[in-house]
Structures are given as C-alpha cells and as structure tokens.
Structure 1
C-alpha cells in the first residue's frame, strides 16, 4: 500500500479512528480521576571517610563510592523499614513501607538521594526523616571495626527532607497525552485492518475483471426512500430525481442503433434496491416522453404493484398462461402516466414459466409496441430467473449496494450472466453515502448535491409588492425640485446611483441610454407641443401612449423585471397580499381623477436647468417605474396617474431638451409628491 492509500483509509475510516482516540482519552481521564494523589519528600545524604593524608583521602573517596551503591540497595530492605515502622509507630508492615522508599546513588559521587512517597505530604516528610536517621545509625554500626569506636564511614545529611507542596502522581497532562497518541495509533491500525479485511464493494471499477463494465450512475442514500420510494412524489429538483435523470441519459447511449430496447434490472442478492431502481428508471424515461413499459418479472417476491398502488391479480403470469390479452393486463400509474405489467399471481414454477414460447412471443410483441421495456427480475445468485430473462433481453443492469454487496457476490453474479451469454450493460451503485461517493469522493448529482432554485422569503416578496405599488415621493421647498432617494422595488432599501434601478448592472449599462433616446425619438415624432396647460393635459390623456405600452419602457428591462417578480410570486402560493396592494387590485380600471393625476404645468424659466441637474435621478425613477410596470395590473391605476402627470411639463420642455441634446426620459417630478 502507498501513502495515498493510507490517507484514503484515514479519510474513509475517520469515525473509527476518532472513536478509538476518544475511548482511550476517556479511559485515561477516568484512571487519572480515580488514582489517589501521591506526595514525594526528597533528601540527600553524603557518605564520606575520615582521611589523614591526601592519598588516604583519594582512596577513601573511591571506597565511599563503592559503599554508596551498597547502601542504596539496603534502603529497600525490610530491616531498615522495620526500624522506621517501630520508630514512628506506623500502621504499616515493613514490606508496605519498603515499597514507598526509593534510593538512588548519584554516579561518580558519594551522594545518596532518598525519596519517600505517601498520600499525605506531612507523613511523607516524617517517614523520610526517620529513614535518614536509621540510615545514619546503620552506617555507623556497619562501618565500625570490631574493638574500635570510630566508624570508617559516616553519613551526613546535606539536604533535609522537604515538605512537598504538589503531588507527583497522577499527571493528567501526561496520561491524557499518552492516551491520545496510543489511541491514534491503535485506531489507525484497526482502520487499516478493517480495510484489508473488508470485501464489500465501494467502487466496482476497481474490481478485477470489471474494468470494461461501465458504471452508469451512483444513487445517493436517502433516509426517506421507505416513505417516498418513487421519484414522481419528490420535488423536481430533488437530488434523487436528478440522479435518475443522469441514469436515464446514460441508458439512452446503450445500444444506440436499436429502435426498441429491453433491459433487465437485477442484483446479486436481495436487499440491494433493484425493484425501486427499476421502477424509478421507468418513471424517469416516461417523463422524457418515451414509450415505456415496466414489467414486474420477479415472480417470487413481486414489489412493483405494491409500490405503484396497482392491482396484482392480473399480470405477467396470467398473460403467459393465456387467460387474458396484453391490453387487458396493462395498467397505468396515474401519478406518472407509466404503463405497467405487474407480475400477477405467484406461480409454483417461475423458472419454467419464463422459458416458455409464450414468453418469447410476449417480448417480441412488447418490442414492437414500446420504445423501452424495463423488467424487474429476481436476484442472480439465489435463483436463475434473472439470468433467463437477461438472455432473452438486450442485457442486464446490475444494481450494487454500496458497502453491502461483497466482491465475491458481484463477481459471482457477473459470472452467472456470462454462463447464459447475457450481456452486462452496466452497473448501478445504489445507496452511496452522500459525503463519500466512489472511493471516498463525491460524484455529481447522485451523491448528495442539488441545484434547486433558491426559495425567496415571504417577507421579502410581500415587501416587493408593497414597494412596487407605492410611487416614489419627494419633498420640495418653495416649488424647487428637492433631493430624492431611490428605493429598491425588491427590498425597499435605498439605492446608490450605480444600482438604483434594481436591475443587473450589465443590463443597465448597455441599454439605458439606448432605451431613453429611443423613447424620446418616438415621443417627439408621435406628439406635438401643447399650446397651453389644457392642451398639455389633453395630450397626456389622449395622444400619448400609456406607460404600460410606451416605447420609452425598455422591453428587455420589463422582461428582466417581470422574470424576477414572477419567480417570487410563483414561490409564494398562499401568501396574502398586503392592504395597499389589495386596494389597488380592487379597482385596476379606476380613472386617474385623483389630485396626483391632474395635469400640471411649469412656467419656471429654470426648469430646464433643474431637469439637467437631476437627469440621473429621473432616469433612475424611470427604471424603478419599469419594475412596477412588470408587476401587471396591481399598480395600473398608479402608473396611469403617473403617466398623465408626466406628460404636461415634459411636453413644455421638449424643445429645450432637444436644443441641449440630452437624453431625458419625459418624466417630471411634481413638487410635493
């Protein structure tokens, strides 16, 4: 195995590795929590001789080093421990106390380190002090020659026993760290072992002998498949529906020259989802406009009639024995329009019945009447029915369940088809985990990915209708045109100059100037300058086109706006219109007789300069009006009022606009809204 194989195993078996690490960490934490804390008291003893000369000092030093090692071993003896127990009146045996005492001779020195551990720090210090005292007495007793009073060696305490402040065990960080490392190694080892011993199929293309068999599709594991097994009951953009569309497309390239095709859908063993797959394949082909027939050829455990809710009393078996005609045996699934031939009554001899001449004649008749025939057959390994049907059909589609079907089972099923000279048209990998896919990697729509339209929130859609039905208002002082703020018709938020129209920037940049100039040309050619205010009003109401049909409104702008709002309306089937929109819809044909609809005229000599100064603002207002026009009849009265209100002053200023050569839009902001 290469490094990438180990990485693939770690990515696939990550749950096992993490679980093993977690178990070891929990065990280490539990052990650490249950262990009684131990405190250690340390002391140091210096063993020396009493030399007379320098030569004697050197020899005495060598002699002391040899003795220190011996005394380190005597520290664990029962004799010294017994003396300490007797001295301190401890409730311990010499053996128990000896296990708490440790001594270490420092190499190349005459120093002896003594350590005593105990759950009580005070008790550890007392025991250590008693051990040092008994060691001094033992050295003096052992090193004194017979008949003399002065010992050759003496033990001097250079570091008195200290009172420990913190326990020396347990060590949580060390214990948990070692547990994590150990758990990681053991978990990875178990993962590699399981991978080596795992013989289930995860990628049929990696099996020896199946390199030339195409993998037609991978169907993702869906937890709702038992409640909703058919794709006809799923949303059109569901991941499972898309997976069967991919499979449908691949099936169309099998045996391209044949005008009529008969496919047998089977599997190696039961429980791999062959019946559900066959039914959904037939539904997907029928939705594409093909003439499709689904035949339940599983005469032992038929499932098609139950899934589709059809009658199973009359079907393939009654047709083969000659009790009914083909037209009488066919049924139609009302939800999908798929024509189905159920299995009928379960016969005692299914294999013999499928080998009759009546079965050959039936398949020939079905080929002549239908473009594609999908047959659901029994598994290949338990019985021979599927192999017989595959030899009569164009070939077999073998369904393989991910991480369930073994390599030996799949290889045996393919060999069973080869024994009857049946073609293996392709493999369908079923129940693939969404986050895994083939070989541990994701793969297309069939592996958990979707591409459904985004659902627009209802609050946003209601706000869009309200904003589209409400005209833009502005306030002025002393009759002058004031500053105004454009509002997005979709969200109601203030817009900048670049995005005030609410349309895509590419559409605005490419079309705005052309649409405005085209609108002005049509208006100038189709209307004349009014001589008075009254003529202006008449021109606005009679000669000028309505805003909905005006050439000034860009058709592409209106279409883009209508597509956006139509999608939002379609997604909100049951939402109630707001009060303002409802009032507008109740009287869509109301004449513009309100105060806002009265024609106005402007004799202000600075009107042309104001139009020039606010030309961009009026252009943005026209684009916002285009969005409102795309809403349809719900704001028609408001648009008519705005249209009649806009023509009066616009007609008066047309000559000034032509003289200045500016592409105005013919829309005037009336002071006071």
Structure 2
C-alpha cells in the first residue's frame, strides 16, 4: 500500500482513544527535556506579578473616630423613656447611616465644604448593635485628605441627619487624628509567589497539551498500527552498571559486558532480516532513520556482526560522510580511507580500501574524516560503481546513511540498494515525520524491508542500548533535504 493511501486510511479511522499511561509517559519525557519551560515561565510570572505589585503600590491612610449620637430633645426620667427614645433613634440611624453617607446631599455638602470637585477618599461607618455608638472611617491615598473628609463629615452630619431622624448631637469619644503612616505595606512576595505558581502551571499545561497531541512510535504494535509497516526487531536500551575502574562500554554484541537480552534481541533481528532478505533477494541494504541519534549506526554495526557470526561475509560501509562513526562504534582505531576518498580519487578498487574487523567476517569501508562536499559526492555517478563493485565482495553489503528526515543523501543511496532497513527510536520522531521520511525513501522505488524499534521498553531485568551520538554537522541549511 502506498504511503499516501496509508495516511488516508489512518486519517479515516476516526479519533484515536487516549491512552492515559502513554500520555503520562510522553508528558514525563517532554518534561525532562523541556523542564526549563515551566521554570522560565514561573520566573517570568513571578517577576511580572512582583513588578506589577511594586509599581502599582499606593499607600493608603486611615482616619477614624468613635462617637455617640443623641437626640437633642431627649430627656431622662425615672421610667427611662429618654433612653428608650435614644435606643430607637440609634436603631434608625444604624439603618439609615450608610444611605446618608452615600447620599447626593452628603456628597455635595462635603465637596462644597472642602472646596473640591471630587472626594479623594472612601467613607465607611459601623454601628454597634443595640447602642447609639458609631465608628466612622475614611481611607484615602492622602493622610491629610482622610483627616479632612472625616472631620468635615462630623461637622455636617447632624445637618444631613436632621432631614431623616430630626435634630441630633454628636458626642466624640475618640476624635479623628492625622495618620502618621499608611496602614497598608508594600508587599511583592505574595504576588510574586502567585505569579510564579501561575507561570509554572501554564508551562506544565503547555507541555501536557504537547504530550496529548504528539504521536510517536513506542511499541512494535505502534509500528504496525501507525506506520502500517513490519517491525523486524525491538532493541531495548543498554545500560552498564557502575563499577570502579575502566570497563568496556562499546555497544556491541562482541562486548562481554552486554546483557544476554541485548544479544538475543540482535539475534532475533538477524533471523527476521535473513527471512526478508531471502524473500526480496536483497543483498545491498540501506540503514537509515528519521532523526540523528536514533541508533541506526549501532543497529547497522551489530546486524553486520550478527550476520558474520551466522557465517555470512559482510561489508559495512560508512556513508554518513558528514559524521563518520562506524569505526568508533566497533572500536577500530587503525587509520583508513573510506567512500569520500574513493569518490575524490575517481579511481582505485574499493576492495583495496576494506579493513577487517578482528575476529569477525566483517570488513569496513570507512574513513576517519568528514567529507569536504558530502552533498555533491553522494550524488556522484561513481558511487553506483563503488556499490556495484562491493556486491561481488561479500554476501551482504550494509550501507549506513545519514538521517533521511533531515538530508536527501539516503534517497540517492537507496536507489542503488535492494532494500531499506528503517531504524526508529522509541518516542523520538513523530509519526508524520517518520512517514514523510519513509515516503521520501520510497521514491527510489526500493522496497522497505521493515523497521527496527530502538530503545524499546524492556522487561524487568533486561537491558538495551543508547544510540544517541554526536550530529553537530547536520545543522547546515544548505545541506538539508529538499522536496
């Protein structure tokens, strides 16, 4: 089935159910990689809220007075009728007090007495229940304004109240005073903490949204379901236990420190690879991936070693001319020349450039330096002659190429091969990127033999390998894949 048809088929199957565990795993992976996002947003949020609180701080001053209100005509007799009257008046005042303070009459009289067009203050009053005791407060950004407004209210209040409850007298218990300091303090800590929490929360929400929408390949089932491709093998991540002294950390089946599960996964890959190779009559095989660091070079090297252990003669060619690394992976230190030198010389027998890997039936065609003009060299017609000459020298020729998701080199080489082995690191590239890269390789009309899932989640007690490596020279925009 063509890749475009695969995309249409996947797009028509309806929305995919959300796997909570997978989302959490994806979220954790993204969080570890982009932890700086919520931290940065938290710092920015704290700084913004703190700065806002600092700049918007306005000192507030309070002036207050406590007084009693008594009817002018009240009298005290043995029956206590005067007290009863004052109590009724107090209750009535307690009800009408807020309305009187906010009335147009009070406001206009205040502004007239103060000689202003607006009041720079907030007035509030509170009556003590069942008494004629009142607490009057005025708050303002100016201590002088708060005092003057309160003092003026006390002076004109009897005149305003006369329209409602009749004549009254105000007896001051605690007269108003000019505030010496604001009652509110400049506080940036609490807003900064709030801003930091909001910033971190926003960052985590962004990463969670990314994890919900990001579709990657993590299991063999994903390879089949999301890519509609055959998974030839799943290699778990290899880790070495910490020990004192130097130990061999070469990621190779020849390393005695490599776990049995790692070696078994490579053997399983070899068995499936041989089955596909026989079916397709494939002798020259391209190994590629979508992104740098997915482990294609390590897969190519260990597959070559495993085929050698099975009795096949293998030539392993380093066609990653920007970043040759096969020799390092296999621990080969002898100086050698590779494809770049063959292409530059335009002559010479490729067989003369092959170097053996000690103790195996694997030979390498690999140089020590990056090519000066890899794009031009990979498109050279002589490359086809080199690959053709190598066909007659071994049972299998494995070509390690650059990532096809970034560069067009792999497609040019794929046209010279019999099959493509595609390496996918679990949870690395997104599905659409993988499919685009495989589609790009398929333009060479070379069949995809299958995929290898690298860094797959291993069962308890098992190990795998880490295929990440240096790809600093893949950044040039002029060398990126076209089309």
Residue equivalent to 1:388: 415
SS at match of 1:98: coil
Residue equivalent to 2:355: 331
2:338 aligned with 1:312: yes
Instruction: Tell me how far 1:179 sits from its aligned partner.
Output: 3.3
Q: Computing the radius of gyration over CA atoms, which structure comes out larger, 1 or 2?
A: 1
Q: In the alignment, which of 39, 45, 48 is matched to residue 24 of structure 1?
A: 45
Which structure shows the bigger proportion of residues in strand conformation? 2
SS at match of 1:252: helix
State the alpha-carbon separation in 2 of the partners of residues 6 and 401 from structure 1: 14
Q: CA RMSD in A?
A: 5.8
SS at match of 1:194: helix
2:391 aligned with 1:363: yes
Q: In 2 relative to 1, CA 176–378 (structure 1 residues): closer, same or farther, beyond 3 Å?
A: closer
Equivalenced residues, count: 405
2:324 aligned with 1:303: yes
Q: Which moved more, 1:59-68 or 1:230-239?
A: 230-239
| Residue correspondence of structure 1 range 455-466 to structure 2 within 5 A | none
Q: In the alignment, which of 422, 428, 432 is matched to residue 408 of structure 1?
A: 432
SS at match of 2:434: helix
State the alpha-carbon separation in 2 of the partners of residues 314 and 17 from structure 1: 45
Contiguous gaps of at least 5 residues in structure 2: 1-17, 75-80, 241-248, 467-483
Q: In 2 relative to 1, CA 104–3 (structure 1 residues): closer, same or farther, beyond 3 Å?
A: farther
Q: Which moved more, 1:208-217 or 1:103-112?
A: 103-112
Residue equivalent to 2:100: 70
Q: In 2 relative to 1, CA 297–24 (structure 1 residues): closer, same or farther, beyond 3 Å?
A: closer
Q: Deviations over 1:578-631 (max 9, x none)?
A: xxxxxxxxxxxxxxxxxxxxxxxxxxxxxxxxxxxxxxxxxxxxxxxxxxxxxx
Instruction: Tell me how far 1:134 sits from its aligned partner.
Output: 1.4
TM-score by length of 2: 0.59
Instruction: Tell me how far 1:340 sits from its aligned partner.
Output: 1.0
Tell whether the 8 Å contact from 1:21 to 1:180 is kept in structure 2 after alignment: yes
Instruction: Tell me how far 1:153 sits from its aligned partner.
Output: 4.4
Tell whether the 8 Å contact from 1:294 to 1:338 is kept in structure 2 after alignment: yes
Tell whether the 8 Å contact from 1:28 to 1:176 is kept in structure 2 after alignment: yes
Tell whether the 8 Å contact from 1:282 to 1:294 is kept in structure 2 after alignment: no
Q: In 2 relative to 1, CA 114–211 (structure 1 residues): closer, same or farther, beyond 3 Å?
A: farther
Instruction: Tell me how far 1:401 sits from its aligned partner.
Output: 8.4
Q: In the alignment, which of 423, 428, 451 is matched to residue 426 of structure 1?
A: 451
| Residue correspondence of structure 1 range 626-637 to structure 2 within 5 A | none
Instruction: Tell me how far 1:410 sits from its aligned partner.
Output: 0.4
SS at match of 1:311: coil
| Residue correspondence of structure 1 range 239-638 to structure 2 within 5 A | 245=263, 248-255=266-273, 263-268=285-290, 271-272=292-293, 276-277=297-298, 280-281=301-302, 285=306, 293-296=314-317, 298=319, 301=322, 303=324, 309-312=335-338, 323-324=348-349, 326=351, 328-332=352-356, 338-342=362-366, 350=379, 359=387, 362-363=390-391, 365-367=393-395, 373-380=397-404, 382-383=408-409, 384-390=411-417, 392-393=418-419, 395-400=420-425, 403=428, 405-416=429-440, 420=445, 422-429=447-454, 445-446=463-464
Contiguous gaps of at least 5 residues in structure 1: 87-92, 223-229, 431-436, 449-673
TM-score by length of 1: 0.45
Residue equivalent to 1:209: 226
